[in-house]
Amino acid sequence: MYALADCNNFFVSCERAFQPQLEGKAVVVLSNNDGCAVARSNEAKAMGIKMGTPFFQLRPLVESGKLVACSSNYTLYGDLSERVMRILSGTLPGIEKYSIDEAFFSLDGIQPEDYRAVCVDLIRRVRRGTGIPVSIGIAPTKTLGKVANHFAKKYPGYRGVCVIDSDDKRLKALSLTPIDDVWGIGWRGAPKLMALGVQTALDFTRRPEAWVRSRMGVTGVRTWKELQGIPAVSAEREERRKSICTSRSFAEMITDKAELRLRVSDFAGICAQKLRSERSAALTVGVFAHTNRFRDDLPQYYPFEIEHLDTPQNSTQAIVAAALRSLDRLFREGYSYKRAGVVIEDIVAADAVQLRLFESEEEREMRRRQDEISAIMDKVNKPGSNLLRLATQRPGHYADGIRRDFCSPLFTTDWNDLLEVKG
DNA sequence: TCTGGGGTCCTAGGACCC
DNA sequence: TCTGGGGTCCTAGGACCC
């Protein structure tokens, strides 16, 4: 049996963990630049506030005191996520972190009659240790675990734990699950299925496999099997990420190439830092820039350019230089850029780098020095800081230039601490 | 005025091979 | 008038997840 532990309204719960006065109130957490709602408390959901609602539409509610808005504070959420995961993995073996706020684990070795008690206790300990409320769904497949988790959250009677351990329970649960709530059926698939007469997860499982295959592809068949209790979603993810992306929307639109170069340098620098922190190196550096897609009155442009390195690298200098070459190729005057990003691909282990056959002595020496400089930067810079940086990068904190009008204090990280030089 | 960010996997079609 | 068949690999774009 699989168990899925999922934090309730995670970002909101993180804010509440340090601001108990938010308990019981309608709260939303906003995306970067206070753009739109990315997390909602149950009270906010009950008010009909949808995921992704732009903040300017919520502002009246905030001003009249009916709703509290928080700017997002990802450092805080990452920190609390780590603590939650630590408690979970300290209790049960074989935990698989699936996202910032959820993890799968196996219940092998636990007697079925003890599932509930073990999980209720786990929830209590996470709550006591972090302040974060968690729900757990238990079922023979991950997709059914998601379904069970849904019920655990929805009905207080379950006290946070819902078990699907018989066919009766499975069929009952599926009949109560709308098809668009099913994990793996997205915003394109759901309307398509509903038009074909599939309203619930149960309807879906009653279609023949070939019917599903021809309309929803192999991923649809996987979901179809999982809902019947046949595991079809692979157990483990790879330990090394296949791509790394750093991108931001800008508070203001950027028309100036020099300004865009600064921002892209920052993004590339963060990517390089992430690469090194995972002891990885990469062969491909891509850059994209977007105009503001909501401004019909302005010309639109969505370029993407890739640069291949001749040997995998992870130094800030190499990654930033490659990104800037791509930017120079894609940049066009006359557009107002609202968002840009750097994407790293073809990632390999840094200690297994395949060297070039005909690399010159000078090239090798340059790479060695760049790696050395990056190592020093990593020693001096704390996460999120670029105290020591390239001249092509902006001074200051990475969050500069992002609007965060409703940011909570940095409860688990201190500003001065970020600026303190190690050693 | 104001609309997020970071990932994975699948597929169809093209390039290339013999 | 006539122009093979069977593969693999790569890539861009789409769909999905949180």
pLDDT digits (tens, 9 = 90+) for A98-129: 999 999 999 989 999 999 999 999 999 999 99
**Do A332 and A275 touch, CB atoms closer than 8 A?**
no
pLDDT digits (tens, 9 = 90+) for A313-365: 999 999 999 999 999 999 999 999 999 999 999 999 998 877 777 788 999 99
Q: How confident is the model at residue A398 (pLDDT cuts 50, 70, 90)?
A: low
The per-residue DSSP string of A72-94 comes to --HHHHHHHHHHHHHHHHHHSSS
Q: Whole-number Å distance, CA A66 to C1' C7? A: 64
Find the nucleotide nearest A192 (Cα to C1′): C15
**Do A103 and A119 touch, CB atoms closer than 8 A?**
no
Closest protein CA to C1' of nucleotide B9, residue: A219
Distance, in Å, from the CA atom of A4 to the CA atom of A145, rounded to the nearest integer, reads 6
Nucleotides of B under 7 A from a protein CB: 1-11
- pLDDT for A413 beyond 90: no
**Do A310 and A318 touch, CB atoms closer than 8 A?**
no
Distance, in Å, from the CA atom of A323 to the CA atom of A316, rounded to the nearest integer, reads 10
Structure tokens, A100: 């910032």
Single pTM value for the model: 0.93
pLDDT digits (tens, 9 = 90+) for A207-261: 999 999 999 999 999 999 999 999 998 766 677 899 999 999 999 999 999 999 9
- pLDDT for A422 beyond 50: no
* CB burial of residue A314 (10 Å; 0-12, 13-18, 19+): buried
**pLDDT score for A356:** 75
Q: Whole-number Å distance, CA A62 to C1' B7? A: 32
Half-sphere exposure of A63 (CA within 13 A, CB side): 6
Nucleotides of C under 7 A from a protein CB: 12-18
Find the nucleotide nearest A271 (Cα to C1′): B6
- pLDDT for A57 beyond 70: yes
Find the nucleotide nearest A217 (Cα to C1′): B10
**pLDDT score for A415:** 46
Element (H, E) at A167: helix A167-175
**pLDDT score for A354:** 72
A405: Cβ–Cβ under 8 A, 6 or more apart, which residues? A34, A71
Find the nucleotide nearest A59 (Cα to C1′): B2
Average pLDDT (A158-165) is 97
Q: Whole-number Å distance, CA A308 to C1' B15? A: 20
**pLDDT score for A385:** 76
* CB burial of residue A104 (10 Å; 0-12, 13-18, 19+): buried
**pLDDT score for A346:** 94
Structure tokens, A337: 């850029």
Mean pLDDT of all residues belonging to chain A: 92
Radius of gyration of chain A (CA): 24
**Which backbone phi and psi does A101 adopt, to 5 degrees?**
-125, 15
Q: Where in chain A is the domain with CATH 3.30.1490.100?
A: 243-380
**pLDDT score for A199:** 97
**pLDDT score for A237:** 67
Distance, in Å, from the CA atom of A106 to the CA atom of A122, rounded to the nearest integer, reads 14
Find the nucleotide nearest A183 (Cα to C1′): C17
Residue A9: name the closest of A35, A34, A46 by CA.
Answer: A46
Q: Whole-number Å distance, CA A352 to C1' B18? A: 34
Q: How confident is the model at residue A418 (pLDDT cuts 50, 70, 90)?
A: very low
> What are the helix and strand counts (H, E) for chain A?
14, 12
**pLDDT score for A86:** 96
| Cα–Cα distance list, A33 to A100, A368, A405 (Å) | 20, 38, 8
List strand residue ranges (DSSP E) for A78-185, in order.
Answer: 96-99, 102-106, 134-139, 161-163
A241: Cβ–Cβ under 8 A, 6 or more apart, which residues? A278, A280, A347
Distance, in Å, from the CA atom of A124 to the CA atom of A377, rounded to the nearest integer, reads 41
pLDDT digits (tens, 9 = 90+) for A362-386: 999 999 999 999 999 999 987 667 8
**pLDDT score for A357:** 74
Fold classification of A243-380 is Dna Ligase; domain 1 (3.30.1490)
